[in-house]
Chain A
Amino acid sequence: MVCEEIRQFLLEVDWDASRREQALESLKHLEQCETCRAAMHEFDELRLVLAPAALPEPRDGWESMQRRLVKTIPPARNVWIRPVMAMAATVVLVVLGFKAGQRESTGPARTLATTDKPRVEPPEPAIATPELSHTLKAFRTVSPVYDGYAGWMVVSRGTSEIGILPNPVSSAARMLALRLDLWQNDRSISNADLVVVDGQSADLTLPLKGGRLLHYRVGTSMDDPTRLTIGIEVKNQGGGEPVAAMATALKIQPGHKQTVGKLATTNGDYELKIDFAGAAPASETP
């Protein structure tokens, strides 16, 4: 081995000084001890025999296997179970690589907010279509655990929730994929991906830094998937009056990001933006 190869090898094995000393001592010992040499050859032989075979993918692919295994588990109904939130988060965070930023709002806000009328901004880059398909896939993976009773799923940094409906979702239902983005003084303080069955409402609460809570109520229409009602409240953790609140109805455009409304408070301006990726069937077509 030339010097360059030795240096590269040393980096690869990532040994510290004590590990190098141990290795050196072991090699010296091996030169003198026939019993240990024999053991080493046997270890090599065992390693060779037990070496991992090249791992093929399952016959129908990883996703299919995952779905099959999850379907093996009998569904839970009409319950709100926190661990599934983590499962949903795992799935969705993995498939979306979602990186929302949350920043803490500072200073007290005493004034209840006022609202602007929703207006459509010039189109900004929206959620990419592949992300919609990943989000829907994730929802479809989680949904069988609830025997089709899951009505919505939200994923935000550090938290996720699933909403359970009193009745199972119809096979003809569609899912809307939205990204909710709340800004305060030109900084994004909360960013959440929501998939919701059309005709259903999602009531969800997300933590904000500084101990505040952000509550959304997003209502959808079965007749017109581009029509939404949105209510938003920012509250202190102890409860009491909201520090900011707004409710509005709006039409959303697939593939567009638009401002839902602005809230002027003594603590600064809040602005809610919504990004609508589109609608797709809630269940997979056979």
Chain B
Amino acid sequence: MEGKVILLVEDNADDELLTLRALKRNNIKNEVVVARDGVQALEYLLGEGNTGGHSIAPLPEVILLDLKLPKLDGLEVLRRLRADGRTKLLPIVILTSSDEERDRIGGYNLGANSYVRKPVDFEQFTETVRQLGLYWLVLNEGPPLRRS
């Protein structure tokens, strides 16, 4: 569990901070990589464009993907990841404010593994993050993915 990386795609710094806080409070000590927009997320995962701050590192165990993102929105990121052989099977959890039907349908259509709405109540949010960590990092057996 220690070596498993979580990729958090989140443009809102407050949400990033709160998510990290929730992870910490739930004793989830895995490395969390944060991408601030869709382009950064794709660069990290697929190495598109010039390499940014992050080196091409091991694939994350799970991606927590927000939908409203600058440059490339979450659904587009999802589409591209699912179109790429390397990330086709990567567990992706949409973690977003909205419960709009079109987002949910769009997310599942493009192959999201889960759709979780961020509650306004931070206690509930912390609980949500706890359960996500428990499920995806502990209970779930991910696909055998190795970077080629």
Q: Decide whether A and B assemble into one complex.
A: no
Seen from chain A, the residues whose Cβ lies within 8 Å of a Cβ on chain B are: none
Seen from chain B, the residues whose Cβ lies within 8 Å of a Cβ on chain A are: none
